[in-house]
Every structure is written in structure tokens, then in C-alpha cells.
Structure 1
Amino acid sequence: MKIVLLGKPMSGKGTQAKLLTKRLNYQHISTGDLLRNEVKNESDLGKEAKEFMEKGLLVPDELIIRLLAKGLPEDNFILDGFPRTIVQAEKLNEIQTMNIVVDVFCSDEIIEKRTVKRRMCKSCGAIYGLDVPPKEDDVCDGCASELYQRPDDNLETIRNRLKVYEEQTSPLVDFYKEMGIYTQVNGEKPIQEIVEEILKEIEKVK
């Protein structure tokens, strides 16, 4: 089964991808994580991508495609954060045909609230926020390290990212509807309820 998760920034699609990966024992492929690793490692690709990411702009197709150039697994994976444009979707179709595209939908208002509340652990990378707050303010439940707010977790940047999403990624809805593989779930529900809803949709196409 080859699955694509769509969703606005902060929709929770990354969290859902990780939970589904464990439930299904699939490989989780996140272009966001791959990009952040490239930036952290200060690779040439990472340096190019960083300029776009810091402004809340989409990383160009050519860079993303280079990132995935090593190839996708043949089956049993969840693709998170790709495709983001029609060009990317067409490129993906040339490589492999997806079985289902799940759109984790949230309102812009919820997205903005989640953004300003999000905190990350400096040591283990755990993420906390509106839906999953830490037991103690600014302290990681798992390793007791300090939590911090990412520089791009602010209203100006998220509003810009939402605008870019609407312009460049929203057209994918019609693209995948025409292919007959699009479905939408409510991303504002409790996390575990969303997982179960996605699993039901996956079962329909197995």
C-alpha cells in the first residue's frame, strides 16, 4: 500500500504519519525531516533549501526531487510532505502510482493556534503543543530537557505558509479526485480518533 498524506502546515499530518507507520509497520518518508536534516548537516542542498524555509516559502520542485532521487520503496510506505505541487504530483506518478491520498483537514484558525503553542525538546526532539501539552511548562516529559519554540513558529510565517499552501498545494485536491484516490479526514479531532478514521479509509482500498 502506497499512501500520501496531505494537509496544511501544522495540520498534524506528520504526527499521523508516524502513528500510522507504527500501526501498519510501514516506512515513513517525510520530506520535511529530510530537508531539516540536510539543513542541520549544512549540505549544499540544505543551504539552498534553508533560504526558502526560513521565509516560509515552498522549497522548489527541483530540490525536493533531488532529495527523493535515491528512490522510493517499492511498497508499504507513507509519504508525508510530498507532493506539494501539481508538478511534483506528476513527477511522483512517473515514479510510482499511489493507492490513496488522505487529506488531514484543519481550519486556518486552529492551525494558527497550534503554531504559537508548539514547543520542541532541545535534546530528544519531542513535540508538544495545543493538543499535547507538557506536564510542566517548557520541560520535556520524556527527558526533562528544556523546550524551545522554533524561529518559524510565529503568526507572520504561518500565515504566509497557509497562503502559499492555498495557491500551490490546494490544487492537488482536484488532481487526486480526478484520479479517484482522494479522501479527507477531520484533523481537528483527538489524535487517536484521526488515526482510526484514516485506517478505515485505507481498509476501503486494500
Structure 2
Amino acid sequence: MTRLLLIGPPGSGKGTQAARLSARLGIPAISTGDIFRDNVRGGTELGVLAKSFMDRGEYVPDSVTNDLVRDRLAAADADSGFLLDGYPRTAEQVRTLDEFLATRGHSLDAVVQLTADEDETVSRLLRRAAEQGRTDDTEDVIRHRLEVYARETAPLIDVYASRGVVVSIDGLGSMDEVTDRIVDALGGLGIDGKAA
């Protein structure tokens, strides 16, 4: 049973590595973005509430996000482990996740921090924006997103580092190289990602 959090700046390859690690470890990759979309599509009570904030261009409050994630983590496929991508993002969300896991006698096994050179990350995101026709992803907007990530996420990394569960991985290189680095680092924590 493996419970992981994948954290890193925009453009560091989190989505790609989450999918690869999910397949290797045989655990679901749980993304808050996917949870929001699934609940909105399904017309659930929480989905309707989340949509009301998203439609106004506002962040979904911690209380709603926490409820959605708790509901998803309670699903049967997450019993044997999970990989979180995009949650927790605030100190309040860290507390809520800790409490939820504690009620089940669990905690996170590892926090995989993907790091990347800022200029390379900006170049990567600008290429992706051009390929996807996303004209709103300008260099200024991307650099602002990176600043927000650094300001809001750094304290969370420190919290988990104090627990000795953070492995810091260079997110630049080929997909295979980065996956191998993560698997090797997890192996150092006793988490086997090579057998799957």
C-alpha cells in the first residue's frame, strides 16, 4: 500500500509522471482538477457547489475541495494506495488530509517534489501553449503562475520535509529518465516501483 503526493511547479511534468507512476505502482492517480470535472459532469451536490465558484472565476474554497478529495479517497480503488496530484495546496488542506488519513491509521509514505529550472520550465510551457493554441499563456502569465506556486507551495514542502518523507527529483530530461529517478528515490524509502 503506497500513498504518495506529487508536487512541483507548472510545467515540471507532474501530469505525465503521475500517469506513469500510477501504472507502475498499480494505484490511482487522483487529481483535484479531474475530481472537480467528474463531480460537475455527474451533477453531484458538491460538483454543483464547485461549479458555482469556477463559473465566477474563483478558487474553489478549501471546505469544498476537502470534501471532494475525502469523498474520492474513500472510494474502494484508493484503499490500496493512491497518488495525489494538485492536493493539498494550502496548510488547511494538509491538516484535513492528515486527519482523514489518521482516521484510517495511515499517513503519506512519500512526497515526490519535481524541480525544474525556471527558464526551462517557461520555455516548456510556452511550447505547450503554442501547440495547444493557448494564447493566454504568455511568458508574463507563466512566470506569475510560477511565483504563485513558489509562494504557496514552498511552506507545504517544508512541512513534509520536516517529516522526512520528501524526495526531490530533477523534473528535466526524458520522461523515462525522470520516471527512473523517481522510482530509484522511492526505492530508497522502501517503496518498490520496479516490479509492477
TM (normalized to structure 1)? 0.75
Distance change (3 Å), C-alpha of 1:115 and 1:50: farther
Q: Aligned match of 2:99 in 94, 99, 120?
A: 94
Task: Please state whether the residue corresponding to 2:12 is helix, strand or coil.
Answer: coil
Question: Does the 8 Å CA contact 1:39/1:47 hold for their aligned counterparts?
Answer: no
Which one-letter code corresponds to 2:68 in the other structure? Answer: L
Structure that is richer in helix per residue: 2
Question: Does the 8 Å CA contact 1:118/1:153 hold for their aligned counterparts?
Answer: no
Residue by residue over 1:25-65, the C-alpha shift from the partner in whole angstroms, topping out at 9 and shown as x without a partner, is: 21110112223455677844123135447xxxx64322321
* Structure 2: segments with no counterpart, 5+ residues: 102-106, 191-196
Corresponding residue of 2:81: 76
Question: Does the 8 Å CA contact 1:27/1:76 hold for their aligned counterparts?
Answer: yes
Corresponding residue of 2:165: 181
Distance change (3 Å), C-alpha of 1:68 and 1:152: farther
Report which structure shows greater RCO (CA 8 Å, sep ≥6): 2
Which one-letter code corresponds to 1:172 in the other structure? Answer: L
Distance change (3 Å), C-alpha of 1:66 and 1:153: farther
Partner Cα separation in structure 2 for residue 77 and residue 13 of structure 1: 15
Corresponding residue of 1:197: 181
Task: Please state whether the residue corresponding to 2:137 is helix, strand or coil.
Answer: coil
Residue by residue over 1:142-165, the C-alpha shift from the partner in whole angstroms, topping out at 9 and shown as x without a partner, is: xxxxxx334653323322221211
Question: Is the aligned partner of 1:169 residue 2:153?
Answer: yes
Pairs within 5 Å for 1:119-198: 148-150=132-134, 152-198=136-182
Which one-letter code corresponds to 2:154 in the other structure? Answer: S
TM (normalized to structure 2)? 0.79
* Structure 1: segments with no counterpart, 5+ residues: 120-128, 130-137, 139-147
Task: Please state whether the residue corresponding to 1:165 is helix, strand or coil.
Answer: helix
Q: CA deviation at 1:16?
A: 0.2
Question: Is the aligned partner of 1:4 residue 2:5?
Answer: yes
Partner Cα separation in structure 2 for residue 198 and residue 61 of structure 1: 29
Distance change (3 Å), C-alpha of 1:7 and 1:83: same
Partner Cα separation in structure 2 for residue 19 and residue 59 of structure 1: 28
Residue by residue over 1:48-101, the C-alpha shift from the partner in whole angstroms, topping out at 9 and shown as x without a partner, is: 135447xxxx64322321321314123321111111122211211111110000
Residue correspondences, number: 176
Question: Does the 8 Å CA contact 2:27/2:81 hold for their aligned counterparts?
Answer: yes
Q: CA deviation at 1:183?
A: 1.0
Partner Cα separation in structure 2 for residue 157 and residue 40 of structure 1: 29
Residue by residue over 1:125-153, the C-alpha shift from the partner in whole angstroms, topping out at 9 and shown as x without a partner, is: xxxx8xxxxxxxx6xxxxxxxxx334653
Q: CA deviation at 1:112?
A: 1.3
Question: Does the 8 Å CA contact 2:13/2:171 hold for their aligned counterparts?
Answer: yes
Identity across aligned pairs (percent)? 32
